[in-house]
Structure 1
Amino acid sequence: MALYIASLNSGSNGNCYYVGNGREAVLVDAGISCREIERRMARLGLSMNIVKAVFVSHEHTDHISGLAVLCRKYKLPVYVTPGTMLNGKLTPECFYHIADHQRVTVGGLTITSFSKLHDAAEPHSFIISGEGITVGVFTDLGSACKNLIKYFKQCHAAFLEANYDEQMLNNGRYPYFLKRRISGGRGHLSNTQALQLFLEHKPSFMSHLLLAHLSKDNNCPDLVQRLFSGHADTTRVIVASRYQETEVFTVTNKPEGVTAAANLQFSLF
């Protein structure tokens, strides 16, 4: 009994996250091209044939740029909140509207949406549950709100934003208004904020934490890895790349089940 997870890309240049149970899978966001999604999944031994839906967190380009082509080609339903502005990128028959704390069943997976703080029209995050396991996809977060804390506590694995280092942002080249947007409560989660959430609310059964949506200019993968690894205990910490896919990770509901899926690809089809 397991869920299989991977980041196909993570950063301001595009976000796309895979969660599946071996029979069906969903993508959260499609911020890289359809062709690149196909290539990266193929390299991982993952099949597009079992992807059954795309859940969109919000309308920013780095989360939807590949959505229209992907969904036309594979005739995938797109789950979005009514306020999410997709600017005519998809025909209405592709849309399925979701509400705060609504549950959607996709085969053996249950996807629950919840509102978050971000400077978009009606942004939501998601947890995906199945096989007795829960995986969270938590990026583009202005702060660790009550909703985020509630659902983070349920996760056996999570993609969690660690967007910026405060000192790098403050001393960096960004104009003042952009620094304020990033750190102002409806922008992004800093390394310190993400670590605080992890330390205070990580469940004992969390086996994987994939740190996501790192800023190219205001963060450093090695810095983040060191910061979290010192507090990880039994949780495996991975920094998701803005340039390539991660490996596929197998998440079980057993403490000893912390295993990379590289040798289990036969079970993903």
Structure 2
Amino acid sequence: MGLVITTIASGSKGNAYHISDGQTSLLLEAGVPFKQIQKALKFNLQSPVGCLITHEHMDHAKYTNQMLSAAINCYMSTGTASALNIEHHRIKTIQANKQYQIGTWTIIGFDVQHDVNEPFGFLIRSKEGDVLLFATDTYYIKQRFSGITHMMIECNYAQSVLDQNLEDGKIHNFLYKRVMKSHFSLENLIEFIKANDLSQVEEIHLLHLSDKNSDEKLMYETIAKLTGKRVIIAKGE
């Protein structure tokens, strides 16, 4: 069957994704109500073995308690758990660069750069050998990867669009600077792709596009031309 990726929601209003290897399913992020997740998956939701949460911002973690109430273990860094301040036996803290087994999945959390307390990206491997790189809300990824078959990676803004919005007064200087120090741009993504081995990649999902600072057509065409891979713009409700 291979790895199946479903975008439930992607963007500043909320983020949630579902992956399945045909045996067990895994949720990524808890930024929308659990009922929305069930509806998006047509209530055909295999019991998820867990939910990975990258950081504490509400568009990624607001509905953590609903996941816990649904008996879903939530995996995150110690820093994220501390920031969320939720006491529950299903909160599972993990350490960066250590391997963990969650059902049929093997996961490794890695450090990313964002204005929060210990944010993570995740490298997720299925029993069948698919390797998914999941990274969002970061302006820089220092690690290099090989053997990736699927990418789910932020492409939040294009520098040209952001610059034009600043010039037109559509964005304040403070927010302009914050965007560049907290999110992955098209330009950063291009450099990241050039620095990594994408020879085994089957598809690239572009996540968390900004409503105001992105250019979907430009991003799709640029990454498709650069990589020669199938590119998917992540869209949800």
Verify same fold: TM over 0.5.
Answer: yes
Give yes or no for contact 1:19–1:128 (8 Å, CA) kept in 2.
no
Task: Please give the alpha-carbon distance, in whole angstroms, between the structure 1 residues aligned to 2:190 and 2:39.
Answer: 33
Matched with 1:94 is: 90
Choose from 120, 139, 142 the match for 1:142: 139
Q: 1:239 to 1:181 in 2, by over 3 A?
A: same
Alpha-carbon deviations, 1:158-214, whole Å to 9, x = none? 101111011211221121111111113xx1111111122223324211000001111
Give yes or no for contact 1:57–1:123 (8 Å, CA) kept in 2.
yes
Shift of 1:5: 1.5
Structure 1 runs (4+) greater than 2 angstroms displaced: 46-50, 85-88
1:48 maps onto 2:45 in alignment? yes
For 1:236, the aligned partner's letter is: R
Shift of 1:86: 4.6
Matched with 1:159 is: 152
Task: Please give the alpha-carbon distance, in whole angstroms, between the structure 2 residues aligned to 1:143 and 1:8.
Answer: 25
Alpha-carbon deviations, 1:64-107, whole Å to 9, x = none? 122211320x211111111114534x433121110011222122
For 2:161, the aligned partner's letter is: M
1:30 maps onto 2:27 in alignment? no
Alpha-carbon deviations, 1:213-265, whole Å to 9, x = none? 111010021221121122232x1111112x43xxxxxxxxxxxxxxxxxxxxx
Task: Please give the alpha-carbon distance, in whole angstroms, between the structure 1 residues aligned to 2:111 and 2:191.
Answer: 20
Task: Please give the alpha-carbon distance, in whole angstroms, between the structure 1 residues aligned to 2:174 and 2:206.
Answer: 26
RMSD: 1.6
Choose from 55, 59, 69 the match for 2:56: 59
Task: Please give the alpha-carbon distance, in whole angstroms, between the structure 1 residues aligned to 2:15 and 2:35.
Answer: 14
For 1:118, the aligned partner's letter is: H
Task: Please give the alpha-carbon distance, in whole angstroms, between the structure 2 residues aligned to 1:70 and 1:83.
Answer: 19
Q: Normalising by the residue count of structure 2, what TM-score does the alignment of the two structures yield? A: 0.91
Q: How do 1:97-246 residues align onto structure 2 when only pairs under 5 Å count?
A: 97-130=93-126, 131-145=128-142, 147=143, 149-150=144-145, 153-172=146-165, 173-184=170-181, 187-233=182-228, 235-241=229-235, 243-244=236-237
Task: Please give the alpha-carbon distance, in whole angstroms, between the structure 2 residues aligned to 1:77 and 1:56.
Answer: 11
For 1:169, the aligned partner's letter is: L
Gaps of 5+ in 2: none
For 1:65, the aligned partner's letter is: K
Give yes or no for contact 1:3–1:133 (8 Å, CA) kept in 2.
yes
1:75 maps onto 2:68 in alignment? no
Aligned residues: 231
Q: Normalising by the residue count of structure 1, what TM-score does the alignment of the two structures yield? A: 0.81
Structure 1 counterpart SS, 2:213: coil
Q: Which structure exhibits the higher relative contact order, with contacts defined as CA atoms closer than 8 Å and separated by 6 or more residues?
A: 1
